Amino acid sequence: MKNRVMIIGGVQAGKSTLMNTLLGKESAANKTQALVYDDWIVDTPGEYIENPMYYRNIMATSLEVTHVIYLQDATSAKSVFPPQFSLGIPKIQIGVITKIDAHNADVERATALLKNVITQGAIVKTSSWQKLGVEFIAPLIELRTNEEIRQYVKDRDSPYLMYYP
Ligand SMILES: Nc1nc2c(ncn2[C@@H]2O[C@H](COP(=O)(O)OP(=O)(O)OP(=O)(O)O)[C@@H](O)[C@H]2O)c(=O)[nH]1
Ligand SMILES: [Mg+2]
């Protein structure tokens, strides 16, 4: 299977904007209504994780990817992921925090929320608007083991990148 990532996260959390940034598309993101497959990314509507009725869609789609991005909006005080949600998806986990540029962003809070969701993996702090941290995501999706990812994070020594635990 070609390396491919599914992005999951809350409504308006910045998933599609991140996908456009990663694929070098400048157009503004519209509301996502269904699964969107583009190159090495699968974008999902925020409703898929906010409404348990859609969990089966997430599970089914996860079979088509090697990696899952668990995305947390830095401006949101809540997590949309049920505790331990990632345990049911045996794929490489990457935590991504979006909107770190926002005046009301709380990156520490977002990091703590993601640590309750993923069991291990890279956590990337990003702003699609200011192009911060986003450059690390594509290389991480190329890596197939947590050990390689841990080493990648260590070698970069970037404030936008950490490895959990
Ligand atoms: N400040 C700031 N706002 C952002 C950033 N990225 C996205 N946004 C804004 O967040 C809002 C939602 O962005 P989307 O990318 O459409 O969010 P989504 O997660 O795809 O939303 P759904 O498709 O509804 O699930 C838009 O108004 C974006 O402009 C960012 O890096 N910084
Ligand atoms: Mg979207």
Tens digits of per-residue pLDDT, 131-145?
Answer: 999 999 999 999 999
What is the total residue count of the chain? 165
Q: What is the pLDDT of residue 84?
A: 80
**Residue 163 belongs to what H/E stretch?**
strand 161-164
Q: What whole-number distance in Å separates Cα of residue 18 and Cα of residue 54?
A: 22
Give the mean pLDDT of the chain. Answer: 97
Give the mean model confidence (pLDDT) for residues 37-52.
Answer: 98
What class, spelled out in words, does domain 5-164 have in CATH? alpha beta
Q: What is the pLDDT of residue 76?
A: 98
The answer to whether 124 and 96 have CB atoms below 8 angstroms apart is yes
Q: What is the pLDDT of residue 26?
A: 87
Structure token pair of residue 15: 């998933």
Burial zone of 106 (CB within 10 Å; 0-12 exposed, 13-18 middle, 19+ buried):
middle
Q: Which of 6, 11, 17 to mutate to test the pocket of ligand 1 (most atoms within 8 A of CB)?
A: 17
The answer to whether 70 and 8 have CB atoms below 8 angstroms apart is yes
Q: Which atom of ligand 1 is nearest to the CA of 19?
A: 15
